Structure 1
Amino acid sequence: MHTRILAMLALGISISMAAGTARAQAQQLVLGISEGTSGGLDHAQVIAKYQGLAEVIGRAMKSKVSVVFAREFRQLEEGMQTGRFDFVMARPSDYPARGMRDYGYSYIASTKPDGQCFIIVPKGSALKTINDVKGQRIALPEQVAYMSRFCAAELRDKGILIGKENVQFVREQAAVGFYLDNRFADVGGVASYSGIAKKWEKDGGRILHKSVSQPYFPLVANKRVKPEQLKAIQLELLALPDSEAGKELLKRIGVEQFDTTSEPRMRELLKWLNL
């Protein structure tokens, strides 16, 4: 009898420990990060870069949040489709927008500054306004790229249909600059946050037109995350510029601040892009 009681007690302790381990594992959340095709970081570097953000989210959730690098877009989409990612922060922005539309993810925030398409021309170009682009040789990133679709949507809204223009699609945004510099194209479209856009005017080029602004690098949450938890995360994100640690975190991930008012634009983004 005594032996049986000890065995039952041991079994009870074992079950309790297993349940505790299961609860701890269940409470560990996953933040999926994608920097698109422009990022050159490996998994360890991405974890180091975004661990501070994961800790901010974890503080609001009262749970541990681990960072997972989604190097390929297919991995990012599958992570949302299967619900593996509790949170996703990604560029290009159409992926988080698709998470909201197709997989039930909830909006948390985007980052500042917003993203734009810059229509650029080389030094000495005679083009004066966006209306002058019609009939010119246009260089854009590869046809399936987010920014190519972004620039095409902006040009469409200005009455310039890409399908009826002389467009050359190039593999990388840097190649757009190469085409302009070497007179293979007259005008190009690039992302406002790209390396080429940031130095184009300094190098003597000109920005002919800046598109409407759209949400940049959005953060979304799996539908498992409750509304009050979403609000708690938003409050934590908005408070980041108020502390030195928060400013350092923002600087590390390369944004100025978080914006929690861009949900309506996020929900319209895919329609605007015709996706």
Structure 2
Amino acid sequence: MKRLWITLVLGICMVWAGAVWAQTQGQQLVLGISEGTSGGLDHAQVIAKYQGLAEVIGRAIKSKVSVVFAREFKQLEEGMQTGRFDFVMARPSDYPARGMRDYGYSYIASTKPDGQCFIIVPKGSALKSVAELKGKRIALPEQVAYMSRFCSAELRDRGIQLDKESVQYVREQAAVGFYLDNKFADVGGVASYSGIAKKWEKDGNRILHKSVAQPYFPMVAHKRIRPEQLKAIQAELMTLPDSESGQEVLKRIGIQQFDTGSETRMRDLLKWLNI
């Protein structure tokens, strides 16, 4: 009787282990992608852009990984909340951070370069430091936007409380530059990876201040992905710059490389943003 009981227990354990294995081996997993409000790619273009990355992930864990475009933030959050997405790579970074905090997702990596808030001023501005922003007209993306919260947190840490300043919130980051160019504002805040930031100095303007760096375009995994699989994916991502095919994957996505050492900053991000 005892031997029969042991056999039964072992059989149940094997069935359970097989079910867990089937969740992440030999079946199609889903990589949810969000590029935020930037760009204008359709679903087919996003699949083409990230299919190489999906194949890298799949190769690491011996599974097929398909790409799904989360066009709306609501779709992205629901995909994490329901566990529809096995993997998520998204910007802005607060969404993957919420996946970790609220929905049990695990950190895999972020990308390089990191993201920063650039405090910018137009050519001819007399401003020399962040401390001089008090009493000035400040232009930021719309108040609920990730970068607006990012810049707000940075300025808060530098002694500038935006609720006590004259702040104009605009719909798009490009509009921040318009406000400065047309003297509707004295200073603005934009993302380091935005189009306006990349050309601001080339146009003869100045970046007054660069914020602390925070993880950019992070990738996280549902809790069904096992720790050894996470490590295998991380190892595969870190080798991408070492081969022509890997470099092509990175180039297609538009990043320099992956960073697997930003987990602590990811876990602290929402607290820093006061979200």
Q: TM-score, normalised by structure 2?
A: 0.91
Aligned mates of 2:31, 2:25 — CA distance in 1: 15
Matches within 5 A, 1:170-249: 170-249=170-249
- Give the Cα–Cα distance (whole angstroms) in 2 for the partners of residues 258 and 26 of structure 1: 26
Aligned to 2:77: 77
Deviation at 1:159, TM superposition (A): 0.4
Letter in 1 for 2:268: E
CA distance in 1, matches of 2:106, 2:88: 10
Secondary structure of the corresponding residue to residue 85 of structure 1: coil
Aligned counterpart, 1:54: 54
Confirm or deny: 8 A CA contact 2:26 2:64 kept in the other structure.
no
Residue type at the aligned position of 1:105: Y
Q: Give the AA of the match of 1:271.
A: K
2: CA distance, partners of 1:96 / 1:189? 23
Secondary structure of the residue that 2:111 maps to in structure 1? strand
Structure 2 residue aligned with 1:132: 132
Asked whether the 8 Å contact 2:111–2:215 carries over to 1, the reply is yes
Distance 2:23 2:156 in 1: 52
Cα separation, 2, equivalents of 1:40 and 1:188: 25
Query: 1:63 — aligned with what?
Result: 63
- Determine helix, strand or coil for the equivalent of 1:36: coil
Q: Does 1:273 align with 2:273?
A: yes
**1:128 Cα deviation after fit:** 0.4
Give the SS at the match of 2:212. Answer: coil
In structure 2, the residue matched to 1:89 is 89
Aligned equivalents of 2:25, 2:128: Cα separation in 1: 59
Which position in structure 2 is the counterpart of 1:30?
30
State how far apart, in whole Å, the 2-side matches of 1:100 and 1:77 are.
12
For residues 229 and 242 of structure 1, what CA distance do their matches in structure 2 show?
21
Query: Per the alignment, in what secondary structure is the counterpart of residue 147 of structure 2?
Result: helix
Once the 2 structures are TM-superposed, how far is the Cα of residue 25 of structure 1 from its aligned partner? Answer: 10
Residue equivalent to 2:14:
none
CA distance in 2, matches of 1:45, 1:257: 21
Distance verdict in 2 for CA 1:26–1:59, change over 3 Å: closer
SS in 2 for 1:241: helix
For 1:205 and 1:83, how far apart are their aligned partners in 2?
45
Q: Are the equivalent residues in 1 in contact too, given 2:26–2:63 (CA < 8 A)? A: no
SS of corresponding position for 1:265: helix
Residue 113 of structure 1 corresponds to which residue in structure 2? 113
Distance between the aligned counterparts of 2:263 and 2:98, measured in 1?
13
Quote how far apart the aligned CAs of 1:39 are: 2.1
Residue 23 and residue 195 in structure 1: after superposition, are their counterparts in 2 closer, same or farther (change >3 A)? closer
Residue 131 of structure 1 aligns with an amino acid whose one-letter code is A
The 3-state SS of whatever aligns with 2:113 is: strand
Question: What residue identity is the alignment partner of 2:237?
Answer: L
* Runs ≥4 residues deviating over 3 A: 22-26
Q: For the residues of structure 1 that align with 2:243 and 2:168, how far apart are their CA atoms? A: 46
Shift of 1:23: 8.4
CA contact (8 A) 2:25 2:61 kept: no
2:220 partner SS = strand
Show CA shifts across 1:160-197 (max 9, x none): 00100000000000000000000000000000000000
SS of residue matched to 2:37: helix
- The separation in 1 between residues aligned to 2:251 and 2:26, in whole angstroms, is 31
SS at match of 2:216: strand
Find the aligned partners of 1:23 and 1:255 in 2 and give their Cα distance: 30
* Structure-1 separation of matches of 2:228 and 2:26: 19
Aligned CA-pair RMSD: 1.3
Count, aligned residues: 254
Aligned counterparts of 2:47 and 2:225: Cα–Cα separation in 1: 22
Q: 2:152 matched to which residue of 1?
A: 152
**How far is the alpha carbon of 1:134 from its aligned partner?**
1.1
Deviations 1:242-268 (A, max 9, x none): 000101110100000000000000000
